[in-house]
Each structure stands twice: as structure tokens, then as C-alpha cells.
Structure 1
Amino acid sequence: MAAAEPSPSLFVRPLGAVERNPTALKVILGGKFRELRVAAGLDPAHVDSKLGFSRSKTSRIELGRHGCKPADAAALLDLYGVDDDVQVAEFLRLLEQSRRPDWWRSYSDVLSDFFAPLVALEGAASTIRTYEPFYVPGLLQTPAYIGAVVRSGPGPLLAHDIQRRVELRQERQRQLEQGDGPRLWAVIDESVLMRTVGGPQVMRAQLEHLVAMMGRARVTLQIAPLDLTASVGVGTGLTYLRFAPGDLKDAVYIEHLTDSTFTQKPRIVEQYRDMLDRLGACALTPRESLEAIQKRLAGM
């Protein structure tokens, strides 16, 4: 007798790093709930009424903004006709993982609300693309450089708060060291090499760190000449998150003076992806960028 075919997964597999990210899992599970509801021909208000949910609860679950209890998930799956034991078990397993606390929440005392969406999802990305006009990208900064950048911000900070911010950035960097962590493709403005942040010793150590990081297979760094950034028209830092196909919609994080914009709207994301593509195509190659950094180091 032929072996029974395994039940197809409801999710794009493998989820990889996403399974370690509760926020990303909430969004993925919410999107899957919406997909199943639409396939069942139901609207959110009908589901709320049918299952005795409070108003708009179904919509909040689908947006990934509302924690979903296992009993509610089981009721939703049953309503949507998902009755395969293997699929239900997989769904509930991922749901349980999504209910764990995110690592970054322990840094809520120093994490701005507008910065949280980026920190919450960057570890689940397959690729992080970033452009920085003023500083070395945060994911490539040394602790001393991080401290200098933090101290240069508005308002005086206690030594404890500065250290907490340094530790938060270091925790973000550790995600790059995971075997299935994101690839990093960074473009920095040429002026970043000239801007001595934290003093000559701190800056030298930072540039040496960049040289070391450029030796990693999953890190790509390019220098954008000054005339290039003027012509492309990028006036602010931005980060683009690309996720594995089918898991999450790509996202872009755009920095402003006192806040930021984080969006997954396809039209806006596409515009900034195109901008990054043009920057990368016109910037110095990785080899040329390495030579530029080494030249700067020789002149210090």
C-alpha cells in the first residue's frame, strides 16, 4: 500500500528566522486568517457575530495587532473549514510561538515608538537594504561609535540610558550572526568616511570594523560618491526589508528629524526600492568601496 501523501502546509516553508520573531509570526498568522476567511466567503463582521467576538476583533487579529488565543484560533480554523489535524497542529504551534514576548520589549525604556516597527521585523527579513547619509549604518557600528552617535542626539542623557541604547543596537547586530539571519546590503554617503564621530581613535576603530565586516559573505557595503547622492536625490536615511516570498510584504523605514515612517504599502515600497537600486548601480563597487575606506584609514 502506498504511503499517504503528507498534508500540505498552510504556510510558505521554511519560515526560517521568522519562527523566532513573534511580531512577524502575528502578522503572518493574521494574513493567513484573512486568506482563509476570504476563501470561505465571509466578512469580518459576520465572523465576529458567529463566534461571539467583540466588534472588529477578527480584523485586529488579521492585522497582527491583537493576540489570538488558541481557543479563538481553533474556532476560526473550524469556521473556515480547516479540519486537517496536521495543518491545525502546525497553525497552533506557530500561534504559541507568536505569543512569546519579543526580545526587544525589554528595551522599551529606550526604544522610541516610531522605531519599534523596524526593530520588531528586521530580524525576520531575508535581506536588509539600507542607505545612510550621515553615519555608519547602525547594524555596522562599533560600541564606541554607537555611544558617540547617541550622545550627539538632542537633550542630555544619563550614562545608564546611553549604555542601554548601545546594548539595544548590539542585540540588533547579533541577528546578522544567526545562520539564517538576514543579508545586509548597505550604501553609505562618502561624507560618512570624512565625518570623525567620537574622535580619531573611535573613527579609526569604526573604519577598521567596516573593513572586517566587508569580509563576511552576507555583508555588502558600497560608498556613494557625493555627486551621486546629489543627483539621485536621497536626503534621508532609509531601510528596506525584503522578506521571503509569501511570508510578509516588503517594508520600508524612512527616517525624519524627530520621527519616522514605516510602511508596507506596495506603491511606496516600490519607489524606495527603485531609489536603492539606482544608488547601488551608481555607487562604487564593493572592491572600490573597500579601497576608499582603506585610503581614508591610511590618511588618518
Structure 2
Amino acid sequence: MGSPIVLRRRLGGELGKLRASRELNAKDVAAALGWSASKLSRIESGLVPLQERDAARLLAHYGVTSPDEVKHFLSLTRQSRQQGWWHAYGEAVPERFRAYVGFESDATKILTFQCELLPGLLQTEAYARNVMRSMQPTESAGEIERRLALRMERQRILDRQDPPQIWAIIGEAAIRRPVGGNAVMAEQLRHIADLADERPNITVQVLPFSAGAHASMGASFSILFFSDIPGSIVYSETITSKTYVEDQAEIARHEDVFHRLMASSIQPEKAITRLRNVAEEYGI
């Protein structure tokens, strides 16, 4: 059935198509219902849950009267409001990050470029714990451990029967920065090299310092693709914000940037060797 987040996105997409089929402007629909334009946009993007009463108002505004069609939309609305597995981790999952966890759980392909950090799905416990301690210095040990447990739980998608295709491009700065010390980094880099070497669904490249200026200077991002809902999304984050890109022209731009990064990076087989060599340089 998919996660509630993906069902929410499917519902929003269907409602958006319904509005477009009536040749209605999103701004006008929002105004007619007493909503902000951003509320309707976020509903159609699947970034916020939809109340059944609001779904009923939308359907009435669009002139949907077929009992079967109304039943379909209201049933999908209820399903999309169910709690995902990540709710068990409480505040360890910030509100804006919950959508990403849901999308990641149902993605069939993930392209990710990381400048400074190693990709979350490929992190070891020791590396992730040190990153979290550095980025959240005021959090208690218990809170850090809850965040760490969430990250390890997210990685279970790599072990499922139909794991997503992962293509990760890692900036050389991320493999040269000794997070947690030499032993932690040696273990971490060998872990990534082993994943890329042993699992056909995981591909890793390294963007070397020697590439110079590149297509995504200072900006990390991930592109997620799905099999059962249309389109893809781009996700990026800073210290204080998390951004989802839904516009197809902007997504296409990110895909172009990713392909240019691929061309500038060390190719997969040599990247595995580079990771193992740097692990040896850490002296462990």
C-alpha cells in the first residue's frame, strides 16, 4: 500500500489532476475555500495531511458527486493520515523530516550528492553518533541514541527483498574529515566500500578535490524516484531548514547537475579502491 507519506502524495496528485481537469486556478480554489494558496499547494504536493472535511469540501468544489469517486478519495484520505513507523521515535523525527523518511521508505531509486557528510543510509553507528553529537551538542545522550536508532532503522530498506537503487556521489572532503577519529573513519570507509562492492543496487563515486569547481558547489541534495506515484522529488537541507522541490523543471535541473557530477567523479570501481586506500591512510 505504501507509507502514509506516499499515499498523501498520491492523494495530492489526484486532487491536483482533478482541479486541472476543471481548468481551475489553484489560487482561486484556495480563495473560494478560505485557504491560503500555500495550503492548497502543500496538500497537492503531499507535504501536509488532509482532513476528511477538507477533502469533502474540495470534492464538492470540483463537482465530484459520484459515490464511488467520493468514497475513493475519502478512503485514500483516511489511509494517508495513518501513522508511519517513524512516529514511534517521537521528537527524534522533526516534523519537516517526517515527509522525507516516508518518501525514502518507498523510493525505488535514490540519487544523492553529499559534499561534507557521508550519506545517511551508508553511515555506521559510530560515524553517525559522532556526527549527531557535533551537530546537536545540547541534546542528551538518550536523545542522541533515539536519533541514532532512527537512522539505523532507516537503513533497513537496504536489506529488504526489493531494495532501492542507490547512487551516491561523495565529495572528497567527506572522506578526508576524521569524524570520530581514525578508527571510526577507517571502519566507515571500509563499510561503504564493502556495500558498493557487494551489493549491485549500491553505486558509489567520489568527487575528488582535483575536479576543482563543480556543478553543485556547497550544495548537497537527494533525488528520489518512485514506482507507484508520478514524478520525483528533490530534498535538501541546511542547519535550520528542509526543502522539498516538486517543480519538474527544477527537478530536471538537479538531475542534470547530478549527471555532470557523475562525469567529474571517480568512476565506481576506482572509487571503491580510493575508499579502501583512504581507510588504510587512517592507519587502522
Task: State yes or no: 1:228 paired with 2:211.
Answer: yes
Could you tell me how far 1:251 is from its partner in structure 2?
Answer: 1.6
Task: Find the counterpart in structure 2 of residue 98 from structure 1.
Answer: 80
* Partner Cα separation in structure 1 for residue 164 and residue 9 of structure 2: 18
Which structure is higher in helix share? 2
Query: CA offsets per residue over residues 157-209 of structure 1, 9 Å max, x none?
Result: 21101101101111211123233342211000123222221122221221221
Residues 131 and 276 in structure 1, CA contact (< 8 A), matched pair in contact too: yes
Task: Find the counterpart in structure 2 of residue 127 from structure 1.
Answer: 109
Of the candidates 17, 41, 44, which is equivalent to residue 35 of structure 1? 17
User: Larger radius of gyration, structure 1 or 2?
Assistant: 1
Residues 224 and 279 in structure 1, CA contact (< 8 A), matched pair in contact too: yes
Could you tell me how far 1:122 is from its partner in structure 2?
Answer: 1.8
* Partner Cα separation in structure 2 for residue 45 and residue 293 of structure 1: 51
Residues 165 and 201 in structure 2, CA contact (< 8 A), matched pair in contact too: yes
Task: Find the counterpart in structure 2 of residue 80 from structure 1.
Answer: 64
Task: Find the counterpart in structure 1 of residue 152 from structure 2.
Answer: 170
Could you tell me how far 1:152 is from its partner in structure 2?
Answer: 1.3
CA gap of 1:95–1:152, structure 2 versus 1, over 3 A, is: same
Structure 2, gaps ≥5 residues long: none
Residues 52 and 74 in structure 2, CA contact (< 8 A), matched pair in contact too: no
RMSD (CA atoms): 3.3
Query: CA offsets per residue over residues 5-51 of structure 1, 9 Å max, x none?
Result: xxxxxxxxxxxxxx321011112112213323443566789999xxx
Of the candidates 243, 263, 273, which is equivalent to residue 226 of structure 2? 243
CA gap of 1:196–1:104, structure 2 versus 1, over 3 A, is: same
Residues 133 and 188 in structure 1, CA contact (< 8 A), matched pair in contact too: yes
* Partner Cα separation in structure 1 for residue 43 and residue 218 of structure 2: 37
- Structure 1 residues 124-133 or 135-144, which shifts more? 124-133
What is the identity, as a one-letter code, of the residue corresponding to 1:80?
V
Residues 124 and 181 in structure 1, CA contact (< 8 A), matched pair in contact too: no
Residues 130 and 186 in structure 1, CA contact (< 8 A), matched pair in contact too: yes
Q: TM-score, normalised by structure 1?
A: 0.77
What is the identity, as a one-letter code, of the residue corresponding to 2:246?
Q
Task: State yes or no: 1:200 paired with 2:182.
Answer: yes
What is the identity, as a one-letter code, of the residue corresponding to 2:189?
L
Secondary structure of residue in 2 paired with 1:187: strand
Task: Find the counterpart in structure 2 of residue 11 from structure 1.
Answer: none
Secondary structure of residue in 2 paired with 1:217: coil
Task: Find the counterpart in structure 1 of residue 237 from structure 2.
Answer: 255
What is the identity, as a one-letter code, of the residue corresponding to 2:106?
A
Secondary structure of residue in 2 paired with 1:152: helix
Secondary structure of residue in 1 paired with 2:218: coil
Could you tell me how far 1:99 is from its partner in structure 2?
Answer: 2.7
Following TM superposition, where does structure 1 have runs of at least 4 consecutive aligned residues deviating by more than 6 angstroms?
42-48, 87-90
What is the identity, as a one-letter code, of the residue corresponding to 2:109?
T
Task: Find the counterpart in structure 2 of residue 110 from structure 1.
Answer: 92
